[in-house]
Amino acid sequence: MEDVVRDVDALRAKYKNDPEVRIGIAPHSVRAVPKEWIAALGAHAAQHGLPFHMHVAEQPREIEECVAETGRRPVELLADAGVLSARFVAVHATHLAPHEAALLGQARAFACVCATTEADLGDGLPDLGALRRAGARLCTGIDSHVVNDPLAELRALETLERLRTGKRTTFEPAEGTPAEALWRAGSIDGAYACGFDDAGGTLRIRRDHPTLELVDDAFLLDAIVFSGTAALIEP
């Protein structure tokens, strides 16, 4: 573990003046890292304000083995280790018990849904409604390169929940439209999850793409989020 901390601190020193780089700590999972290491690495991340990412409850077997080894479910174990915070990102979070979603929400932690990866691996459908109601923040990512399409990952935060619940619409955001809320999850909240203060930069959309050609400006964001692909994004 000392080697990990030394490497993290070396990278922090190397990139401390680079506004485009953030260094964080990402122990793989409770099945790969001892609890004592998780607690110590979490304390180091907290001391220096670093993002802290871990795979959490991706597959049922992970949960079964965690309970067999420790008597605790993954999020319970992480809570015991003191690592849940607004800097914590639970990658996947596919098979949470309701109280685990509540623990993430109480900490204002993130759940990073990797929809195309989870579909490819047959991991299952996360209860995104429970996470939203608990106050956990959602963002998106990939844990493979089977599909590289940020818009597909983005709309899955709504469409996966439609599949799971059998409902045509699954959430009404506190502010704005569903498309605006999803766009925020994929941009501003995603940036926060990686340790940035905002999602600075410009994304250029091909307004002349056939997918958008007949779309009125008033519905442009809805079309981009719910029917767009990476082909809409200019290089």
Tell me which residue of 94, 88, 110, 84 sits closest to 186, measured CA to CA: 110
C-alpha–C-alpha distance, residues 29 and 150, integer Å: 24
Tell me which residue of 133, 96, 141 sits closest to 117, measured CA to CA: 141
Residue 93 has pLDDT above 90, yes or no: yes
Distance of CA 214 to the CA centre of its chain: 33
Please give the pLDDT value at position 68.
Answer: 96
The verdict on whether 189 is a catalytic residue reads no
pLDDT tens digits along 101-138:
999 999 999 999 999 999 999 999 999 999 999 999 99
The verdict on whether 44 is a catalytic residue reads no
Please give the pLDDT value at position 101.
Answer: 98
* Interval 19-41 mean pLDDT: 96
Residue 88 has pLDDT above 90, yes or no: yes
DSSP letters spanning 183-217 = HHHHTHHHHHHTT-SS--S---B-TTSTTTTT--G
* Interval 43-53 mean pLDDT: 98
On the CB side of 207, how many CA atoms lie within 13 Å of its CA? 5
The residue annotated as part of the active site, out of 53, 92, 95, 123, is: 92
Which domains can be identified in the chain, with CATH numbers?
Answer: 2-199 (3.20.20.140), 202-235 (no CATH)
Residue type, 232: L
The residue annotated as part of the active site, out of 80, 120, 143, 222, is: 143
Residue 201 has pLDDT above 90, yes or no: no
C-alpha–C-alpha distance, residues 186 and 152, integer Å: 11
On the CB side of 111, how many CA atoms lie within 13 Å of its CA? 32
Per-residue pLDDT band at 8 (split at 50, 70, 90): very high
* Interval 55-72 mean pLDDT: 97
Please give the pLDDT value at position 215.
Answer: 97
Please give the pLDDT value at position 1.
Answer: 86
pLDDT tens digits along 146-167:
899 999 999 999 999 999 999 9
Residue 209 has pLDDT above 90, yes or no: yes
- Sequence-distant (6+) residues with CB within 8 A of 35 are 70, 77, 80, 81
